[in-house]
Structure 1
């Protein structure tokens, strides 16, 4: 008599799409994403845990990306109660009946940004690429900051000479670095105070060397021309020419004579 005993779900073998190893079904999470027709999510728990990794600056990003792929929700209270540990969060998420039918779109707005308003959408800007103009590796948001700052300097000081252009770009980069150091100070990063102080001193030194400060505005404006610079200095009482009397020439004497004629009429 033939053995008609059916294979139990737990003994079924599945090949992981990542490590390509064939493992028992219990080594995989239950699939809830309708885009995948399999009962199990075909990336094993070991590969999933390895991808999520240790807690660092992008730890939560990786957790949320996996939840999105699995079409499972991010529940803030549950996440916190599980110590913000993936290995403790996902089993509880699967075992609680009230979370059974929830999808990723049902996630708390703790980390998930609603896409109903395109102007409020956020993006992760981590890629750094070499930029020839700024001679270094920067993210897209870094380049935006540098370009906007340079435009502001050019508007305020009319940068024309090659020397001023070079100083302006260095000042822009120093400002970007100082801003990042200050953000670390606000976030309580260890040693951030000394780094911010050094960044600020570098920025101030460059600004003074290039005469890019409020007190120097207009003096380094080569676009004004000689008369423009002189007028600006006079208006700011930085230079007032001393009156030196001169002998009258024939034209001046003729003007005086015409004035006398007019008065005698």
Structure 2
């Protein structure tokens, strides 16, 4: 993926984007099971000047990839900073709330947000559907490389397909065809588990194996003609190092002569003036 960044809302920074990419932030935060996970979340939010809202955090399954889209997108969090953080559960929301249990009375979108979601995801979805799609899309962007518009479209379709599977399961409907389509989309995006395993194996290969792979798949291009002859490098050293050194030390040998012959190509002789005979006689 082209390297992506979060929008900057910290007035201490003059840039439009936080100057730490999403992947680097995700790598720094680490896994949910790691020690200090929540503390690192809070330190990152402090840098971004975004609030830590405990109930929203709990409803996001305490998952950074699910929490940050809510805090960044939903209207009732706009304008809030890290100083507005709530670190304990409040009666306003239950910590057991899940994203799909929000109702329009709890979560509202302003016109700009609605237009943004409808433009990107299409019409006909509930608010929690849009949030789910946005979460899945952000997770894909932060987890895999996305370096083209085609890859973005595939990630978008994967999010759609996961939502369809989710709704089918909630309605106790069969999901075989939907899962098959999802597998095809994952394959087209080159992020199926078997493909990831192959990529990891390449990363863990020995240096010699990698060199062989690069030589076979991405060979070194032909050198510039002036550098194609290896002996030309030898001659270069003989003239400009040995020849010049001998010339400085007053040693007359073949290297000094090679240097004189080469340097003569770049010399300019002063013009000789011949006086006119008439001018002399006068």
TM-score of the aligned structures, taking structure 1 as reference length: 0.32
Instruction: Considering fraction of residues, name the structure with more strand.
Output: 1
TM-score of the aligned structures, taking structure 2 as reference length: 0.30
Instruction: Considering fraction of residues, name the structure with more helix.
Output: 2
Q: Larger RCO: Structure 1 or Structure 2 (Cα < 8 Å, ≥ 6 residues apart)?
A: 2
